[in-house]
Amino acid sequence: MVDDIAQMEKFHNLNRESKAESLIKETKILNIARLAKMLVDLYGQDEPFRQIGKYEGKEIELYLKELGGYITFVLTSEKENFNCHAEEAKNPIATVIVNVKKEKILSVISDIIRSKNNINGVIKLLKYIIPGKLKIKGSYFAALKLARCLMIGKHYIYKESK
């Protein structure tokens, strides 16, 4: 009888720990999604949104492999309507898989966001795609459109003071 109670307590403690860990991962994913939305709202450029074209209304998933969660972005032609949410997409046109350790996820996403929306910024993505830190399944063009919408490096806050 005492053994049964001890085993049940261990099970409840393990269950509580796994729930806590799951909650922490979900919170990290939600914070990344909110950060992306906030940065685009504050510092995003209108130009890449006007170039969305036929991809308007399409969903693109960002899968954070180490955290085991998704952020879904819906492409729009107006920056004011840009939105993302922390859940798996229903019908994604592309999935971008971030395949780095937990500690590096934010730095990779931050590096992409701080890039300029030009050919050099797009080339900068290759340093993540070639070694497999970022993998794209589905439409490469749609994923590129999303990346260009997220790139806020042309904003005046990033210009060096002279």
Measured at the CA of 127, the angle between CA 113 and CA 115, to 5 degrees, comes to 20
pTM of the model: 0.81
Measured at the CA of 116, the angle between CA 111 and CA 118, to 5 degrees, comes to 130
CB burial of 59-89 (b: ≥16 within 10 Å; e: otherwise) equals bbbbbbeebebbbbbbbbbebeebebebeeb
Give me the mean pLDDT over the 59-81 stretch. 92
Does the domain at 2-157 match CATH 3.30.1050.10? Answer given as yes
pLDDT digits (tens, 9 = 90+) for 117-145: 888 888 888 999 999 999 999 999 999 99
Residues forming beta bridges with residue 61, ordered by sequence position: 72, 95
Secondary structure letter of residue 161 according to DSSP:
P
Residue 161: pLDDT above 50? no
* pLDDT, mean over the chain: 85
For residue 14, the model assigns a pLDDT of 61
Give me the mean pLDDT over the 88-114 stretch. 90
Contact present, 58 and 142 (Cβ < 8 Å): yes
Q: Where are the domains of the chain?
A: 2-157
